[in-house]
């Protein structure tokens, strides 16, 4: 009989171990499964948002939702049954062991401990000392590691504050969110009366508190057409509108990074039905430049044979607040340079630092205004010898205005003081003509100016223009701009290459040539480099290896650049079709036509997106 108990106990023990292992794996899987957030479900929901009339689709979503829930609960039920079974088998095991050892005295066969208790104590002392010492060492290591990390972070933050005050000496700039806060704080102290700000946190509560005063229980929906405020069902007090905390201070966002901290951006809208459209305004003069946002203001430029103008629109209403003309500038050409229709006279996007906003035109005219529309200074930096037309966008680093002025006869990088237009530094480069725009990247812990031209991608100290490294890798007509993430710099241009460079050393990490952009710029995360081509292919390169991780043949050209925002990648085709991808997988979430040709890259702020089309400027905001 004892043999039976023993054998049963052995079999049960094996069973218990196997079952426990399986349950462990199943439990782990359950912990990482969220059936309602599956890729298919998200895609279908996004599709539904763009077309909420499709009842068949809604029916599908409901069925899939039900199935997902059922599958989840079935698995949970199995896990629960497994646990009960395990408890039962453990009980059987214990019972068998109890019966097997029945009538057996509980005496060990031999004494494990040394007979000498003092030796036992000595060993225990030793083990305890070792364990305590090891724990202390780990604790010290963690403490030192954390201290070093905190000091580095504090140093960066201090640098940013210093540079925002005295950029002419500076080397650091606003690159990440922390720096954005610091600069925003410094700016707000300097120009408290001005309606400008850029910050980090987008607090919905703050916005709510500052929202326009409305009648009780009414909903705020403001729809604007052609720069006119139309109140739908509530009275809006425009002057009480809240400051926006997320800025987009240059082409493709702050620092021209191609990313934004904005949240809650709508994934569907309709310009005809005005669904999720806060306002739509016409723009006085044409231009291919992209919108820039700070505080309440949206800036763009427009130009024709008659005039070159900087416009400021109200971000909440779309109302044209003021216009600053680039006229009466010494050295400005009397007749407009010959430019390509695809480029125009106002292809360069403006840049702002929250206090000043600067614009450049194909004539070489640079103007700078404050937030109230007062022109602070203007100068001509020389007529660009450019067969398509000057197109590089501006960038501000604190109070330094950076101009990538690379033309046929003159290639240099200029740094002007935003307060008075005086030159801070000028760096002549050996590059040929390019239409690319500069970016500020965080490399090796420092904010670095990265410029992509022909033939080099080069890094500079934005404070004094000193060259840090230079990689000759480009050729042809470089119109795309670089991107940076996780300490790496990425650049790509059609007929050249797509390259990843170690930002700290300038060492080339990988090159690829699967898909290359013509005008559209790259956007990067730590995992992917997103690329949109002018022949309709879009892809995500692996940021570490350069391998194409995902590609989509969308059969429509792209000049606009992708922007990573709120876990998604927003991309406009030239025809005005919007594509929204999941940034973690580059899976297409949704796509739809807007009906207006779009070449500019949208700008993002708290819950809003400003899009410039060939015909108008509009604001997308999710309706509550």
Partner 1 sequence: MRKRGFIILIGVLSSLAVWAEARFPKPDFTSGYQYPVILHGAPNEMFWNVVDIVMLIGMMSLVVWGAYRKRSRAVIYSLSVVSVLYFGFFRSGCVCSVGSIQNVVLSLVSPDYHLPWYVLLVFLLPILFALLFGRVFCAGVCPLGALQELVNIRNFRLARSVSVALSVIPWIYLAFTILYAATRSQFLICRLDPFVGIFRLGGDMGMITFGIGLLLMSVFIGRPFCRFLCPYGALLSVFSSLSWKKLEITPRGCINCALCGMSCPVDAIRSPQSSRTGEERRKGVNRIILFAALLPLLTMAGAFLVGGQSDALSLAHKDVYLYELLLQQQARPDMEVPLEVETFNALGGNIEELKARVDEVRLDYRFYTRLAGALIGFIIGFKLLKLSLKRSRKTYEVSSAHCTMCGRCFSYCPQNINIKKHEKTIS
Q: How many residues bind partner 1 (CB under 8 A)?
A: 84
Peptide bond into 455 cis (omega under 30): yes
Instruction: Based on the shown chain and the rule CB under 8 A, indicate whether residue 145 belongs to the binding site for partner 1.
Output: no
Distance CA 449, CA 433 (A): 19
For 578, other C-beta atoms within 10 Å of its C-beta total: 23
Report the site for partner 1 in 100-119 (rule: CB under 8 A).
Answer: 101-102, 104-108, 111-113, 116-118
Surface-to-core class of residue 79, CB atoms within 10 Å of its CB (0-12 exposed, 13-18 middle, 19+ buried): middle
For 199, other C-beta atoms within 10 Å of its C-beta total: 24
Among 127, 151, 154, 545, binds partner 1 (CB under 8 A): 127
Nearer to partner 1, 133 or 331 (CB): 133
Cα distances from 212 to residues 8, 240, 241, 278, 453, in angstroms, run: 76, 5, 5, 15, 47
Report the site for partner 1 in 36-65 (rule: CB under 8 A).
Answer: 36, 65
Nearer to partner 1, 106 or 330 (CB): 106
Distance CA 64, CA 44 (A): 10
Instruction: Based on the shown chain and the rule CB under 8 A, indicate whether residue 206 belongs to the binding site for partner 1.
Output: yes
Nearer to partner 1, 447 or 616 (CB): 447
Nearer to partner 1, 27 or 495 (CB): 27
Point out which span in 197-205, 354-362, 371-379, 451-459 binds partner 1 (CB under 8 A). Answer: 197-205
Would you call 311 helix, strand, or coil by DSSP? strand
- Residue of 523, 524, 582 whose CA lies nearest to 552: 582
Report the site for partner 1 in 578-617 (rule: CB under 8 A).
Answer: 583-584
Instruction: Based on the shown chain and the rule CB under 8 A, indicate whether residue 30 belongs to the binding site for partner 1.
Output: yes
Q: What share of the chain is helix, strand, coil (3-state, %, to 5)?
A: 25, 30, 45
- Beta carbon of residue 112, minimum distance to partner 1 (angstroms, whole number): 5
Give the 3-state secondary structure of 204-218. HHHHHHHCCCCCCCC
Instruction: Based on the shown chain and the rule CB under 8 A, indicate whether residue 542 belongs to the binding site for partner 1.
Output: no
Distance CA 103, CA 70 (A): 51
Among 131, 148, 152, 155, binds partner 1 (CB under 8 A): 131
Point out which span in 88-96, 225-233, 539-547, 613-621 binds partner 1 (CB under 8 A). Answer: 88-96
Instruction: Based on the shown chain and the rule CB under 8 A, indicate whether residue 73 belongs to the binding site for partner 1.
Output: yes
Report the site for partner 1 in 321-380 (rule: CB under 8 A).
Answer: none
Point out which span in 96-104, 399-407, 413-421, 428-436 binds partner 1 (CB under 8 A). Answer: 96-104
Instruction: Based on the shown chain and the rule CB under 8 A, indicate whether residue 566 belongs to the binding site for partner 1.
Output: yes
Nearer to partner 1, 169 or 486 (CB): 486
Report the site for partner 1 in 255-274 (rule: CB under 8 A).
Answer: 259-264
Distance CA 380, CA 360 (A): 9
Long-range Cβ pairs for the range 135-142 (8 Å, 24+): none
Surface-to-core class of residue 25, CB atoms within 10 Å of its CB (0-12 exposed, 13-18 middle, 19+ buried): exposed
Instruction: Based on the shown chain and the rule CB under 8 A, indicate whether residue 18 belongs to the binding site for partner 1.
Output: no
Instruction: Based on the shown chain and the rule CB under 8 A, indicate whether residue 146 belongs to the binding site for partner 1.
Output: yes
Distance CA 505, CA 307 (A): 45
- Beta carbon of residue 176, minimum distance to partner 1 (angstroms, whole number): 6
- Beta carbon of residue 173, minimum distance to partner 1 (angstroms, whole number): 16
């Amino acid at each position: 009989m004892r043999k039976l108990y023993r054998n049963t106990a052995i079999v049960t023990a094996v069973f218990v171990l196997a079952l426990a292992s399986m349950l462990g794996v199943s439990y782990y899987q359950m912990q990482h499964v969220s059936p309602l957030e599956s890729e298919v479900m998200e895609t279908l929901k996004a599709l539904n948002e763009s077309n909420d009339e499709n009842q068949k689709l809604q029916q599908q979503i409901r069925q899939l939702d039900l199935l997902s829930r059922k599958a989840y609960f079935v698995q949970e039920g199995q896990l629960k049954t497994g646990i009960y079974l395990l408890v039962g088998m453990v009980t059987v095991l214990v019972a068998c062991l109890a019966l097997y050892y029945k009538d057996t005295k509980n005496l060990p066969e031999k004494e494990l401990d040394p007979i000498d208790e003092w030796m036992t104590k000595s060993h225990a002392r030793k083990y305890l000392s070792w364990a305590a010492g090891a724990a202390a060492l780990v604790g010290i290591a963690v403490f030192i590691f954390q201290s070093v990390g905190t000091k580095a972070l504090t140093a960066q933050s201090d640098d940013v504050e210093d540079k925002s005050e005295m950029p002419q000496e500076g080397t650091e700039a606003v690159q990440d969110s922390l720096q954005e806060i610091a600069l925003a704080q410094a700016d707000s102290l300097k120009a408290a009366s001005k309606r400008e700000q850029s910050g980090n946190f987008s607090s919905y509560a703050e916005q709510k508190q500052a929202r326009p005063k409305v009648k009780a229980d009414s909903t705020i929906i403001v729809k604007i057409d052609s720069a006119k405020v139309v109140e739908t069902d509530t009275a809006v007090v425009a002057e009480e509108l809240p400051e926006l905390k997320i800025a987009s201070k240059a082409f493709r966002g702050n620092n021209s990074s191609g990313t934004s901290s904005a949240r809650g951006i709508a994934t569907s809208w309709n310009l005809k039905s005005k669904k999720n459209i806060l306002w739509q305004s016409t723009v006085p003069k044409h231009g291919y430049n992209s919108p820039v946002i700070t505080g309440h203001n949206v800036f763009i430029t427009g130009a024709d044979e008659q005039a070159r103008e900087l416009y400021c629109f109200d971000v909440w209403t779309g109302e044209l607040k003021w216009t600053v003309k680039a006229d009466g500038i010494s050295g400005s050409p009397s007749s407009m340079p010959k430019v390509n229709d695809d480029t125009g006279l106002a292809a360069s996007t403006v840049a702002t630092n929250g206090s000043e906003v600067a614009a450049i035109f194909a004539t070489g005219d640079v103007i700078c205004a404050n937030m109230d529309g007062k022109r602070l200074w203007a100068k001509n930096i020389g007529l660009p010898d450019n067969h398509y037309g000057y197109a590089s966008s501006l960038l501000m680093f604190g109070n330094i205005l950076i101009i990538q002025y690379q033309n046929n006869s003159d290639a240099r990088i200029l740094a002007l003081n935003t307060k008075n237009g005086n030159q801070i530094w000028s760096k002549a480069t050996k590059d040929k003509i390019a239409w690319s725009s500069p970016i500020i990247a965080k490399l090796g812990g420092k904010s670095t100016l990265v410029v992509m031209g022909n033939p080099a991608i080069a890094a500079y100290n934005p404070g004094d223009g000193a060259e840090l490294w230079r990689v000759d890798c480009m050729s042809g007509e470089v119109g795309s701009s670089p991107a940076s993430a996780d300490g790496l710099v990425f650049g790509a241009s059609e007929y050249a290459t797509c390259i990843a460079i170690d930002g700290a050393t300038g060492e080339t990490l990988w090159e690829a040539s699967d898909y290359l952009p013509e005008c559209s710029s790259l956007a990067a995360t730590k995992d992917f480099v997103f690329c949109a081509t002018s022949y309709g292919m879009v892809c995500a390169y692996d940021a570490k290896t350069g391998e194409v991780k995902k590609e989509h043949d969308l059969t429509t050209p792209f000049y606009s650049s992708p922007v990573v925002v709120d876990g998604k990648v927003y991309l406009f085709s030239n025809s005005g079709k919007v594509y929204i991808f999941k940034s973690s997988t580059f899976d297409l979430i949704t796509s739809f036509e807007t009906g207006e040709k779009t070449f500019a890259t949208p700008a993002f702020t708290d819950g809003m997106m400003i899009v410039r089309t060939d015909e108008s400027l509009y604001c997308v905001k999710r309706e509550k």
